[in-house]
Chain A
């Protein structure tokens, strides 16, 4: 399976099954690399379901009025799409898959600090996911509140809100435990000589992410418990009919859910920060600035939640304050973009699929980020609040950002994870189709959003028809690209040519060990370099 099989010490983690055989050797695995693959398979499954739901919405929006489903059904579809994609795909996505796999290797460790807790995190992730799916099929009907569960609708609708919120609660617990594990791992298990500022920047991003997971997730936990209690006992925390305060729910919800956006984005930025130096064969520009900007984003990100609520009823003072903070949080993000681009200057650039995905990420992230500033300023926000403009901005950040970073990561690290290469030409074709499909799908939403197309509506006036048509066509092109991409990757992982240990001439530790890694990652003590991006 590998080019180093001559070494008798070496056993690939894929072949070593420990105490259990067959499928149990995966379910009972405590090896961070096996757990990472478990997460990846489950997350990809939910991603595919989420994409199918997305395409159903695009079919519905093809023509005004009812096309393939009724309004109520449409509400359930976008709710499930949101819950799946947010709580089960993008929040765990990068940190649970690539964080689990590469964080220990990047810092020269054999595993995370609490391997059994890591396995437990995946188990409860699965339990939470099953609950989310159950909420769709139980007798009261699928929840139709949107993934935000806004009160008072969520406290009064007859659908399965309790099950869906309980699922989100359990999934949050899994996220907390992963974050806890990563923080302890980074503090305790760095190899001798690996100081904080010798770490690669992906662990830095994961470190900042883990603190958000740890400190923000309990707030949504208690909020969802209060929502459940409200539904069960009609307490009146949030329902104005009972004298409650729906704004309170929004505040509590966004105190978590805005930082959660950085749980999605920070690891994505970390991935891009790994890929760009490798394919430019050049030291990252401004190492410390990139490292510290991760912490800055995490810190300031806690204080900007009010920008989701400009039109909900807040004092002017609160609105300009949240607006100011929103502009401030854009600064460290912009620092990263500046540093990525500067790293390429005078580099010897090797145009391979991971690098192209990273470029696509930067392009889409700049569009998503700058439209975020339009939304962050109070005056324009009032105009486009709750329109398709927000949908487009959000998808440019989450799909164009986190999604494309996930694709970049999988193209970058697949040779290491499976010890096999994929077909570059097919990967590039997939990339181009994905990129075109993505922009066709979401860019028209900016335009009709400014013109007044509300989000979450299953109907629209005829004047939006052309844009909706382009958007739907974009959706189908994107799905085609995704199919090509997944096919190429699966084929590569199963039957590709054996990958060398360091196919991209990378300098971080994962490229110094065989592909796929051995069970304990490092059969010899790793040599820790002063500078993780040491290209000569």
Chain B
């Protein structure tokens, strides 16, 4: 029996909604909480897929008897629970900052997991049950599932441009209802359909959340901290997949945002408006009346140093944001300023809505604006600059879009530094300012990255080209495209003396010159710079208590500082409040992985032991173990390749959000086509036909990985549309073949032991949860190339298991 088109469409809609819900939850929790916790909650909620598999496996026939009604019920439950579970979850008083102090927070966290699992459970039931019901046509159902997911991933990003994330909950609810109505058209006669449809529509009207959905942002996020100040209010909100922007006006107590200000400063900033992204990451729009003298405070920060070293004419500001770096350049009367900013809504704020307030800063004749990602802009221009400036920019990595949150960051890698330096004119500067951390972590890691980049570029004495200074709050690292002169050193000293900033490093520095104004226990950064520039840099990096290994494009994790051997020491310091030393992002990933593995064991191994025959496994048959390995390997490998290539292609497409959206949906859509086409191969009697997709995946993955530099060189010369087009052309065949192994094996199983289809679905679900988390951990440790090769090995394992599954099918 063939599934009707309406059913396939409904399955597609539910899969689309489920994937959209996942991305949306990441967005919503990044706003109300912090993104690393969001990542953990949501990855674990996806265990709903695994739970569904087990439940279906144990009750498959009972549910299949009530087929259309059973999936319609699940569709309706998805519709209802998708918004309801989020609204309930945000009422839980979970405070991640308190988790190490108060054990009850763990209970809250667990409660949130459970709530968020439900919608995914219902969505998984729809697909799993359909796979079982139409077991002779699994490829069509799976194709509908993948197609839906592909459209859902692109659709949700488009919708996030149009509406606020909380409003999207309603859209998802309605799409679930639409899916239910679609199924009911073909499942009931006309009169019954009328009744059912009107009941559903009636309920929808009553329960659809509209005006009453408000986000409950944690009181400890910086937006809510500022809103505690009397006279402050949010005057504007803008939303896009890049983040939720809130503009805050302070009517009674002025906002004074001037991070890194020298202790000797006597001036305060002019009137300012605060701008928050995702209720955090404060920046300010400063009132500018065209008189540079009102901006004196900006000359009292460490980032002002390059302007004092020599006269600059042409500069580039990366991550221009709300414009404080441009104001700083204006204060120094720079003739030509190129400014790059990724988020068009920030630009809109500056150019239109608050243009008068900001003194039409972005429209000034000396300012040339580019809406682009930093490296994307540099890849398309041959211009060189006297100064490239990156100030306190904790870039948007892909995490901002909420897809994969362990903050990959391509702004601070060896390759990025080399790219910047190629665009610095002879004797010009690259200047990077960062927040001070104690004990230092990002600064030594950035230093290590810069030094490696210089060495790779053939610089024999990197130490001759580096300057570093610090205040109590910020540090600035300058890399010169040339040897630093005595004149520059004398200007540097004058600059620091006037502002009580400390010298960290310049060629020829003496230890007696450091750590004078902002005294640290030891001159950490000076020691780090000297060690990293010396012969013993390897030993220093190994001995350092945090991971300060240089970041590369293959391991773009500047903020990954965790070292296992330091963990026991930090744990022993909890009593004194040492928990801040814990690099919790990485540990949370580990915690998520452990939880996912334990839950998967519970979901896969326990039923296998307790209800073997109920699952449909024949006594004495060892087949199911091959099946387990096969589907588990596929589940792991699919996401490994997907995540590995998304990251690789970000380097070509640059814009993290668009890159992820395009590559992800290409993968899913082409996999959908592959799944549909797989029936042709499944019917083949040639054993080799089954090996074809695996071989193709391995070949393509290895070819792309090994030849990635040539591909990148070729594509980077193209216009933007060409890069996107060719990326799609490269990814589509890979996705096409990746869509095949799962339905092909299911098709075989349906001929021998169809009862095991839901179980296989559950295994795949559990493996996917583990895979997403494990992929990030592997990438952090070994890089994306290794991740892709591991996936190829996993496909090899699956290929090895395949004949054993097929054996009983008579081949």
- Do A and B belong to a common assembly? no
